[in-house]
């Protein structure tokens, strides 16, 4: 506990903080991470670990795809516990309207250089035999994958060589990060990567928590082959306000099935909300009739860090000299963590990022 | 005299008294590996009372049945993997 203050102090050791630590250390910076709990135990442990290229907007595509490419390099260095599974994503259409959506989505992926294959009803049934009959078709995006995020976060932190310090930060300002016990940690740059809690440490940061439920089953190898997502997912996920559930199920490398998903605004307690959980499971059953025969071993909740425009906040926080944000990754932070770390390091070191950083800059929030 | 019945464990026939649990039948036949953990370790009954889930086997094609809580039935098929 001595020596010069670090170049970069990262508050939060989730996947985002860990990726920032990794990339900054690679860039030659001296890094310290302060984490209130076990690294990787926040949303990073609660999430699904679906690494997915999304194309709803260009900035979302750039960040998810760029990050996916970084992931694909990283996973080969990571330990087996990361449970990397190149399962692809299968977007499922229940009617012609959703099939038209699948076609538009395919065109969008192909136009951006991402392989995507349309499946008719028969091909869909062959690709994913547990799905009910009567579905219209689907879109297979083979380069998406799934992994176990907390192990990845731990690995990135350890490999970065950054000093990891246990402590709860109560506020962040130009003078430093103030811990609960009164200690003030100083650094050249302080990065707020506290996820859904990031707005608690800095007034004015437009991040709100959005609750989600997940269920994991016993091992049933072969029950599910792809991450299966309904095409109505986008409508419900992006519906502002109200609570929603959608089919989003994932095969784990262990043979377990991870069942999601739900989204609730305004819920702040961690406890299971029974009606939401039942609605979520019923939704899954509408697509996968056999799913209710599987034995569930655990269910839990987590909080996504949501921003008003659905894009993360990455970069300097206006009105300060040395405070930066790396937060607001909503339901995509496992996917976009590595690219976030790369962008933070690029911007700190004055390197030109591989994708435009401007759409994610906190300056867009008009805070002064 | 209790009725003798027959169960098949991984293709091997075991003859047991009616009223015996699958776990007891298997243990008596010298079987110790009932299932495998995620990392491939052999696992078998621990608590004997339905709590620990260590004794799970596939019974008549239904996976994850607790053998310590299931009575043998004539012709029952059990798989340890
Ligand atoms: C149900 C659910 C499903 C999801 N599924 C996916 C998915 O399939 N794919 C995907 O890409 N993303 C998914 N996500 C989103 C993803 O989990 C998050 O975006 C991501 O984990 C955010 O990482 P983070 O490091 O910003 O936050 P966190 O992992 O929450 O890390 C923040 C860290 O900061 C620490 N901290 C908080 N306050 C303080 C403080 N005061 N002082 C010190 N430390 C503090 C916390 O302990 C925590 O470790 C899902 C999220 C949920 C909830
Ligand atoms: S031995 Fe513990 S549940 Fe069967």
3-state helix, strand, coil in chain B (%, to 5): 10, 40, 50
Residue B47, pLDDT score: 96
Q: Which of A334, A337, A341, A344 has most ligand 1 atoms within 8 Å of CB, for mutation?
A: A334
Interface probe for A, chosen from B41, B51, B64, B65 (most Cβ of A below 10 Å), is B64
What is the separation, in whole angstroms, between the first and last Cα of chain A?
35
Contact B33, B22 (CB under 8 A): no
Residue A241, pLDDT score: 61
Tell me which residue of A36, A37, A42, A303 sits closest to A169, measured CA to CA: A36
What is the separation, in whole angstroms, between the first and last Cα of chain B?
34
Contacts of A174 (CB under 8 A, 6+ apart): A320, A321, A322, A323
Chain A residues close to B38, C-beta within 8 Å: 219, 254
Say whether B58 sits in a helix, a strand or coil. Answer: strand
pLDDT digits (tens, 9 = 90+) for A57-100: 999 999 999 999 999 999 999 999 999 999 999 999 999 999 99
Chain A residues close to B64, C-beta within 8 Å: 218, 295
Structure token digits, residue B29: 């036949």
Evaluated on CA atoms A235, A241, A247, A253, the torsion sign reads: positive
Going along chain A from its start, the domains and CATH numbers come out as 8-52+149-207+309-365 (3.50.50.60), 86-143+208-305 (3.30.9.10)
Q: Between chains, do A254 and B38 touch, taking CB under 8 Å as contact? A: yes
Chains A, B: CB contacts within 8 A come to 7
The 8-class DSSP code of residue A81 comes to G
Tell me which residue of A242, A246, A243, A244 sits closest to A233, measured CA to CA: A246
Q: Which atom of ligand 1 is nearest to the CA of A333?
A: 19
Residue A257, pLDDT score: 98
Mean pLDDT by 10-residue block, N- to C-terminus, for chain A (368 residues)? 82 98 98 97 97 97 98 96 97 96 97 98 98 97 98 98 98 97 97 97 95 96 97 62 90 96 91 96 97 95 96 97 98 98 98 98 80
Residue A248, pLDDT score: 97
Other beta carbons less than 10 A from residue A219's beta carbon = 20
Pocket of ligand 2 (CB under 6 A): B 45-48, 50-55, 66, 68
Residue A1, pLDDT score: 44
Cα(B14) to centroid of ligand 2, in Å?
20
Contact A131, A94 (CB under 8 A): no
Counting ligands in written order, which one lies closest to the CA of residue B66? 2
Residue A234, pLDDT score: 55
Chain A residues close to B63, C-beta within 8 Å: 218-220
Residue A235, pLDDT score: 58
Q: Between chains, do A295 and B38 touch, taking CB under 8 Å as contact? A: no
Q: Does A220 touch chain B (CB under 8 A)?
A: yes
Tell me which residue of A164, A224, A189, A177 sits closest to A8, measured CA to CA: A189
Q: Is residue B16 scored above 70 in pLDDT?
A: yes
| pTM of the predicted structure, to 2 decimals | 0.92
Mean pLDDT of B70-80: 97
Q: Which atom of ligand 1 is nearest to the CA of A17?
A: 25
Q: Which of B31, B47, B59, B71 has most ligand 2 atoms within 8 Å of CB, for mutation?
A: B47
Helix or strand holding residue B15 (H, E) = strand B12-17
Counting ligands in written order, which one lies closest to the CA of residue A178? 1
Q: Which residue of B has its CA nearest to A256?
A: B38
ipTM over 0.85: no
Cα A108 versus chain centre, distance: 22
Tell me which residue of A57, A114, A123, A107 sits closest to A88, measured CA to CA: A114
In the CATH hierarchy, which top-level class contains the domain B4-79?
alpha beta
């Amino acid at each position: 506990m001595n020596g010069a203050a670090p170049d970069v102090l990262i508050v939060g050791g989730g996947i985002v903080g860990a990726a920032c630590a990794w990339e900054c250390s690679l860039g030659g910076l001296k890094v310290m991470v302060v984490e209130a709990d076990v690294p990787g135990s926040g949303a990073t442990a609660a999430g699904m670990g679906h690494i997915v290229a999304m194309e709803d907007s260009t900035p979302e595509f750039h960040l998810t795809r760029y990050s996916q490419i970084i992931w694909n390099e990283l996973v080969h260095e990571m330990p087996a516990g990361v449970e990397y599974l190149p399962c692809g994503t299968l977007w499922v259409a229940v009617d012609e309207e959703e099939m038209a959506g699948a076609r538009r989505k395919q065109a969008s992926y192909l136009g951006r250089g991402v392989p995507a294959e349309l499946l008719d009803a028969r091909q869909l049934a062959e690709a994913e035999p547990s799905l009910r009959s009567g579905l219209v078709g689907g879109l297979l995006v083979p380069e998406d994958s799934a992994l176990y995020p907390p192990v990845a976060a731990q690995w990135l932190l350890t490999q970065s060589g950054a000093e990891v310090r246990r402590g709860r930060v109560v506020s962040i300002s130009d003078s430093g990060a103030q811990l609960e016990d009164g200690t003030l940690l100083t650094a050249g740059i302080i990065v707020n990567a506290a996820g859904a809690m990031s707005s608690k440490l800095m007034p004015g940061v437009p991040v709100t928590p959005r609750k989600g439920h997940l269920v994991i089953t016993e091992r049933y190898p072969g029950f599910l082959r792809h991450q299966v997502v309904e095409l109505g997912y986008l409508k419900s996920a992006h519906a502002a306000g109200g609570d929603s559930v959608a089919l989003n199920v994932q095969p784990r490398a262990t043979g377990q099935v991870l069942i999601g998903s739900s989204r609730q605004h305004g819920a702040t307690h961690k406890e299971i909300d029974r009606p939401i959980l039942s609605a979520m499971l019923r939704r899954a059953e509408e697509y996968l009739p056999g799913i209710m025969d599987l034995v569930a071993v655990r269910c839990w909740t987590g909080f996504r860090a949501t921003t008003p425009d659905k894009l993360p906040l990455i970069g300097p926080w206006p009105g300060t000299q040395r405070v930066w944000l790396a937060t607001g990754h909503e339901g995509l932070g496992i996917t976009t963590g590595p690219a976030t770390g790369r962008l933070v390091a690029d911007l700190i070191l004055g390197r030109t990022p591989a994708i435009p950083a401007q759409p994610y800059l906190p300056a867009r929030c008009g805070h002064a | 005299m209790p009725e003798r019945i027959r169960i098949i464990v991984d293709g091997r026939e075991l003859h047991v008294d009616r009223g015996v649990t699958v776990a007891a039948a298997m243990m008596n036949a010298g079987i110790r590996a009932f299932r495998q953990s995620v990392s491939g370790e052999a696992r078998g009954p621990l608590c004997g009372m339905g709590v620990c889930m260590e004794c799970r086997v596939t019974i008549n094609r239904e996976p994850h049945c607790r053998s310590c809580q299931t009575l043998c039935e004539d012709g029952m098929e059990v798989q340890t993997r």
